[in-house]
């Protein structure tokens, strides 16, 4: 059983922020920023690519609701909502989850930098991707 399935089964303790029949939101143990939360379905899916669309949708709607609670608690300036898929993307727990990371300023715990490519050929890239439709 994976670690999040164990949390769902209450075999491992967690700090619950939201729970219903099918979903759970807990504090991430690492607290990259204050209030960093994880939203997950109770059913095990490895990642968003194999989960039904409505499952990811429900996770995002729980994240939205939690963001309003966090707003009233810590007044963050923004949020990152992200789901890592695959080890190359930093996924360490292979049970679908979304990170809701409140942002305070550029010196808080999350460094997320988009390095732009030099002169990307957008037409070529779009054509290549669109061939696989
Ligand atoms: P990812 O790297 O996207 O797969 O994220 C997994 C997250 O799960 C990490 O941010 C960990 O800090 C978090 N995590 C691992 N074990 C626990 C746990 N027992 N309780 C809460 N969060 C956990
Ligand atoms: Zn699991």
As given in the structure block, the two tokens for residue 34 are 């204050």
Residue range of the domain that includes 111: 3-130
* Overall domain count for the chain: 1
Using the mean position of ligand 1's atoms as its centre, give its distance from the Cα of residue 81 in Å.
15
Q: For residue 12, which atom of ligand 1 is closest to its CA? A: 19
pLDDT for the residue numbered 2? 98
Q: Is ligand 1 within 6 A of the CB of residue 92?
A: yes
**Residue 97 annotated in active site:** yes
Within 13 A of 121's CA, how many CA atoms are on the CB side?
5
Alpha-carbon distance 78 to 15, whole Å?
22
Catalytic entry in 36, 97, 99, 119: 97
pLDDT in tens, 77-132: 999 999 999 999 999 999 999 999 999 999 999 999 999 999 999 999 999 999 99
- What sign for the dihedral angle of Cα 74, 80, 84, 90? negative
Confidence of residue 16 (pLDDT cuts 50, 70, 90): very high
CATH (domain of 76): 3.30.428.10
Q: What is the pLDDT of residue 5?
A: 98
Q: Which pLDDT belongs to residue 33?
A: 98
| Alpha-carbon gap, residue 69 to 118, rounded angstroms | 41
Mean pLDDT of 44-61: 98
Tell me the residues surrounding ligand 2 (ion) with CB < 5 Å: 2, 4-5, 44, 95
Which ligand number lies closest to the CA of residue 43? 2
- Provide the pLDDT for residue 77: 97
* pLDDT number for residue 114: 95
Q: In the prediction, which pLDDT does 52 show?
A: 97
Whether the full predicted model's pTM is greater than 0.95, yes or no, is: yes
**Average pLDDT rounded to a whole number, residues 20-32:** 98
């Amino acid at each position: 059983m994976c670690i999040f399935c164990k949390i769902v089964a209450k075999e491992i303790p967690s700090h619950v922020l939201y729970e219903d029949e099918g979903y759970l939101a807990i504090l991430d143990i690492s607290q990259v920023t204050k209030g960093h939360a994880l939203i997950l379905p109770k059913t095990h899916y490895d990642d968003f690519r194999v989960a039904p669309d409505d499952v990811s949708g429900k996770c995002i709607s729980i994240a939205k609701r939690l963001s309003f609670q966090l707003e009233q608690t810590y007044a963050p300036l923004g949020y990152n909502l992200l789901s890592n898929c695959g080890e190359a993307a930093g996924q360490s727990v292979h049970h679908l989850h979304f990170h809701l990371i409140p942002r305070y300023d550029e010196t808080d715990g999350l460094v997320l930098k988009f390095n732009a490519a030099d002169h990307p050929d957008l037409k070529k890239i779009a054509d290549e991707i669109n061939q696989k439709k």
